[in-house]
């Protein structure tokens, strides 16, 4: 074999091998990360069945909230997802992403974006939260598109000085849409408030019932 021929072969095989190998390994690789979907998205498994990866919702999102899944995202390649810390969902009143969807992946019956459920904000770091430390922050409460509905302030006495008030943001799961505006606005580097996947269980139902009875 001539040296030139050898170089040509090596180059060809490695180019094809690297691109093909990398593509298929990453496509088949599992990804534990939770992908937050646009408003009105079906439950995750059904969403992955119904989404034909056309990208129209991503194109029609006027705030560049929706991102396009790439090769590293494995099975989520080509699907829309939201990174709240980068750009949260701005809750457009006419929900252009749902209007753009050619399939049932996004629920066309959802007319009121405030009834969407992308996730639920949770105070994930109570020790870091400025408000819980007695500092007047409450940014999450003020930026919330459903102020005083999805996030309310629970005022109680600060335990150290016994003079000051702690304005504790309390998130109400049944109203929180998971738009992520609070997570985006949290002034901490690692957010104290984070959007998590909504879990609907009996516990939450009982908790809500209990609260309604008490009030």
Partner 1 sequence: MNKIAQNKWRILRRIVQLSTILLLLSPLLKLGIFRGTLISGELFGVLLVDPFAAIDFMFAAKMIYVPLIIGALILVGFYFIVGGRVFCGWVCPIYLLSEFAQKLHKKFALYNMKPSASSKYYLFTLFLLLSVITSKPVFELISPIGIISQNIALGVDRPQTQFGKELESSVEISDSGYSSSLMNDSYYDWQILFNSSLLLVLFILLVDIFFSKGWWCRFACPVGTFYTLLGKFSPVKIKIDHVACTKCNECFDVCMPSNVLIKPVQGSTKWVIDSSCTNCLNCIDICPENALKISLKIKKEIHS
Shortest approach of partner 1 to residue 41 CB, angstroms? 13
The residue among 28 and 213 lying less far from partner 1, judged by its C-beta, is 28
Q: For residue 172, which of 193, 192, 152 has the smallest C-alpha distance? A: 152
| Pair 77, 70: CB distance under 8 Å | yes
Shortest approach of partner 1 to residue 94 CB, angstroms? 6
The residue among 19 and 157 lying less far from partner 1, judged by its C-beta, is 19
Shortest approach of partner 1 to residue 49 CB, angstroms? 5
Q: Which residues contact partner 1 (rule: CB under 8 A)?
A: 8-9, 12-13, 15-16, 19-20, 22-23, 26-27, 45-46, 48-56, 58-64, 68, 70-72, 75, 77-78, 86-87, 90-94, 96, 100, 102-104, 113-114, 139, 142-147, 181, 184-185
The alpha-carbon radius of gyration of the chain (Å, integer) is 23
Shortest approach of partner 1 to residue 202 CB, angstroms? 28
Shortest approach of partner 1 to residue 170 CB, angstroms? 19
Question: Would you list the DSSP string of 2-60?
Answer: -HHHHHHHHHHHHHHHHHHHHHHHHHHS---SPPBPPTTBPPHHHHHHH-----HHHHH
Lookup result for tokens 């990453």: 26
d(CA 128, CA 183): 14
The residue among 80 and 119 lying less far from partner 1, judged by its C-beta, is 80
The residue among 134 and 145 lying less far from partner 1, judged by its C-beta, is 145
d(CA 180, CA 88): 5
Q: Is the dihedral of CA 13, 16, 20, 23 positive or negative?
A: positive
The residue among 71 and 196 lying less far from partner 1, judged by its C-beta, is 71
Shortest approach of partner 1 to residue 70 CB, angstroms? 4
The residue among 50 and 196 lying less far from partner 1, judged by its C-beta, is 50
């Amino acid at each position: 074999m001539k040296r030139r021929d050898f170089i040509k072969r090596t180059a060809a095989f490695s180019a094809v091998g690297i691109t093909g190998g990398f593509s298929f390994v990453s496509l088949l690789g599992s990804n534990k990360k939770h992908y937050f979907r646009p408003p009105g998205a079906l439950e995750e498994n059904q969403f992955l069945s119904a989404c034909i990866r056309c990208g129209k919702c991503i194109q029609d999102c006027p705030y560049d909230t929706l991102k396009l899944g790439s090769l590293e995202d494995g099975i989520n390649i080509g699907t829309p997802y939201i990174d709240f810390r980068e750009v949260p969902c701005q809750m457009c009143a006419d929900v252009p992403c749902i209007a753009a969807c050619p399939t049932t992946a996004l629920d066309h019956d959802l007319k009121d974006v405030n009834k969407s459920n992308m996730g639920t904000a949770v105070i994930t770091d109570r020790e870091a939260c400025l408000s819980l430390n007695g500092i007047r922050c409450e940014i999450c409460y003020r930026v919330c598109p459903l102020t005083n509905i999805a996030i309310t302030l629970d005022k109680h006495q600060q335990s150290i000085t016994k003079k000051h008030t702690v304005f504790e943001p309390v998130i109400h799961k049944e109203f929180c849409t998971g738009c992520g505006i609070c997570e985006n606005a949290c002034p901490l580097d690692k957010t104290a408030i984070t959007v998590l996947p909504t879990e609907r269980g009996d516990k939450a139902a009982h908790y809500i019932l209990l609260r309604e009875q008490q009030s």
